[in-house]
Amino acid sequence: MNVRVRLAPSPTGNLHIGTARTAVFNWLFARNQGGQFILRVEDTDLERSKSEYTDNILEGLTWLGMKWDEGPIFQSQRLEAYRQTVQTLLDKGLAYRCYTTSAELDEMREAQKANKQAPRYDNRHRNLTPEQREAFEAEGRQAVIRFIIEDDRTISWHDMVRDTVSWKGSDLGGDMVIARASIGGDIGQPLYNLAVVVDDIDMAITHVIRGEDHIGNTPKQILLYEALGATIPEFAHTPLILNSQGQKLSKRDGVTSISDFKDMGYLPEALVNYMTLLGWTPPDSTQEIFTLSEAAAVFSLERVNKAGAKFDWDKLNWLNSQYLHKMPVPQLTDLLIPYWQKAGYEFDIEADRTWLEQITTLISQSLVRLTDAVDMCKVFFSTTVEYEEEAIAQLQQPKVSEALLAVLGALESHPTLTSAEAQKITKKLSKEKNLNKGLIMRSLRAALTGAMHGPDLIESWVILHQRGTAQTRLQEAINNLNLPLVAVVAPTATPEQANAETAAETLAPEQPAAEVTAVEKKSVETDPVAVTAVEISAVETVEKSTPEAVGAEVSTVEIPQFEATEAEVSTAEIPQFEA
């Protein structure tokens, strides 16, 4: 048998994940059997079908790798074939014109509801005489075409997923409408069940693989195959995709279209891999990652589950991350560039290619979705740093300014920077400046990235240095974040202060701070100079390290005498040095 399967989406909305999963199962079965996968667009609903939805469906299938062998074939271009088939059924006496009005149908349903009966058509116009038909047409009534379904029929088939399935004719809702209403002898627009059967016959479809929500249509379609004397295909009804509450996944659950998944940063390979597992169990149940070709080699409908498949975001995210982590850097960079561009990041795709690939290498193992790269990489593209509270707290720790100044000084001799050189700088400064290496690293991360957590610090530093950003951010951190003082130095000191250390960071923890409570002016020779003001830079604490100064309170800071001639001194400052 030459296996031929088809996907028949309706362009009344974007490509839904349920339809996409059906496409995957059809494609896998066709490839496993060496058959053909045909694409048919069921656009007979002219009011709801839109070309943009058709484009979305075709683009989505292409993105997923679902290459079709024939098509797309549009039902809207085959309306005459459907009408001819309807006429054939009328000629055979297997269908008839029904003139029942909408009001009569409503009245019928209300009566059935009152009697606690299932709604169905009562076939009242199945056996109209020619005179009755003429009378209805004289009233201006329009007629639909109904296909006769005998109540005493039992329709059974072997479903490749659900084994034997049987329906009673009496449960199918009465004689089925196969063409919309029209006036006189015209045949209105053919409807779904008839068009599907005609297409499947003309396209020699051997296997109909679709969701279980279509299972109620199958007995009606089997009756049409029989009426037209055609071979009935094999049927396989796959389980529905369910939400976390166990209900059919719908638009109310948020993301359901393939284009949405694409925009969210999922890879087509990962999404197809995940959809394959939504209702199908591979022979090796421990295998979770495989390509389409690998899945096709072992796919069978017998291993499709009957129970609904619950959509698991965590599983999809995990699969997507595995594909991202294994992807070659150049390929991954190509995928990330559009997301960076959309975020407004500025770079030259060609000139900055090596730099962009360095960023990709740095973040690749942390990615779950492609969109994650936007926030992860903001620090490399932004001209300014947004400091998190934790980073600000780190930058206000003792000795941070000394550490950052030391790094800045070391970078003056490094127009370029490698990872090894960056490591060497931190080790050297830690030893020479007697600085804790952890302090240096934490301070660098806070100053360079504005955060205390993120990608590898050394590699981030190297990447920023290549753009000339590292030095700028270090200097900005020193200038703008009110860092602790490295030293407070007066121009001269009184003898009592000669041995006192003014750098707060050099004191031992057990040495208390001396309090400066006042500023005392000494005599200043002013002839012929007028001194109008003396301004003292704020000094909050001066800590002493000499043993005899422990616990002492310093109540004054003396200003040395100034000798001035011929000039007016308006301000004298005690300088304050910040590192």
Tell whether the model's pLDDT for residue 258 goes beyond 70. Answer: yes
- 37-93 per-position pLDDT tens digit: 999 999 988 889 999 999 999 999 999 999 999 999 999 999 999 999 999 999 999
E strand map for 207-362: 207-211, 234-238, 241-242, 309-310
**Residues 468 and 530 reside in one and the same domain:** no
Q: Is residue 157 in some structural domain?
A: yes
Band (pLDDT 50/70/90 cuts) for residue 314 is very high
pLDDT of residue 298: 96
Cβ pair 384, 341 in contact under 8 A: no
Q: Are residues 231 and 269 in the same domain?
A: no
Q: What does the pLDDT read at residue 376?
A: 95
Q: Which candidate, 119, 177, 173, places its Cα nearest to that of 151?
A: 173
- Position 251 scores a pLDDT of 72
- Residue 22: pLDDT over 80: yes
- Residue at 375 is within a domain: no
Same domain, 54 and 90: no
Beta-sheet strand order (sheet of 95-98): 95-98, 143-147, 176-182
Taking only the tens place, the pLDDT of each residue in 212-244 is: 999 999 999 999 999 999 999 999 999 999 998
* 513 and 559 in a common domain: yes
73 φ, ψ (degrees, to nearest 5): -105, 130
Of the residues 67, 113, 168, 251, only one is catalytic, namely 251
* Residue 295 confidence (pLDDT): 96
Query: Looking at the structure, do residues 215 and 92 belong to the same domain, yes or no?
Result: yes
Q: Please say whether the beta carbons of 544 and 501 come within 8 A.
A: yes
Q: Above 60 in pLDDT, residue 530? A: no
The pLDDT, as a whole number, for residue 458 is 96
Q: What is the CATH number of the domain that holds 161?
A: 3.90.800.10
- Are both 45 and 169 inside the same structural domain? no
In a domain, 362, yes or no: no
Question: Does residue 343 form part of some domain?
Answer: no
Q: What is the pLDDT of residues 449-460, one digit of tens each?
A: 999 999 999 999
What is the predicted pLDDT for the residue at 441?
96
Name residues whose C-beta falls within 8 Å of residue 39's C-beta, 6 or more positions apart in sequence: 6, 7, 61, 68, 70, 71, 72, 73
H or E element, residue 195: helix 192-202
Domain edge (last residue) among 206, 222, 238: 238
Count the Cβ atoms, other than its own, within 10 Å of residue 82: 23
One domain, residues 172 and 190: yes
- Asked if 263 and 151 sit in the same domain, the reply is no
CB 96 within 8 A of CB 128: yes
8 A C-beta contact, residue 513 and residue 546 = no
From residue 365, give the alpha-carbon distance in Å to each of 155, 325, 561, 574, 576.
Answer: 55, 5, 65, 53, 47
CB atoms within 10 A of CB 491: 10
Please list, residue by residue across 1-32, b when 16 or more beta carbons sit within 10 angstroms of its beta carbon and e when fewer do. eebbbbbbbbbebbbbbbbbbbbbbbbbbbbb
Q: Are 563 and 529 in the same domain?
A: yes
pLDDT, position 19: 96
Has 310 been annotated as catalytic? no
The DSSP code for 559 is P
Residue-averaged pLDDT of the chain: 85
How deeply is 443 buried, as exposed, middle or buried, from its count of CB atoms within 10 A (0-12, 13-18, 19+)? buried
Same-domain status, 252 and 268? yes
Question: Residues, the chain, total?
Answer: 579
Q: What pLDDT is recorded for position 483?
A: 58
- Say if residue 551's pLDDT is above 60: no
Question: How confident is the model over 386-391, as a mean pLDDT?
Answer: 93
- Structure confidence at residue 496 (pLDDT): 39
Q: Say which residue, 497 or 14, is predicted with more confidence.
A: 14
Does the pLDDT of residue 340 top 50, yes or no?
yes
Averaged pLDDT for residues 542-568: 37
Query: Does some domain include residue 26?
Result: yes
pLDDT of 482 reads: 63
Domain that holds residue 10: 4-76+241-318
What is the C-alpha to C-alpha distance for residues 68 and 72, in angstroms, rounded to an integer?
8
Q: How confident is the model at residue 255 (pLDDT cuts 50, 70, 90)?
A: confident
Report pLDDT for 187: 93
Q: Give the highest mean pLDDT range of 30-39, 391-400, 401-410.
A: 30-39
Q: 2: closest CA among 35, 31, 27, 32? A: 35
Same domain, 84 and 230: yes
Q: What is the DSSP string of 66-112?
A: ---SEEEEEGGG-HHHHHHHHHHHHHTTSEEEE---HHHHHHHHHHH
CATH number at residue 450: 1.10.10.350
Number of domains in the chain: 4
Residue 404 lies in a domain: yes
Nearest to 477 by CA among 444, 455, 452: 444
The verdict on residue 378 lying in a domain is: no
Query: Mind listing the pLDDT tens digit for each residue in 486-516?
Result: 443 333 343 333 333 333 333 333 333 333 3
- Whether residue 557 has pLDDT greater than 50: no
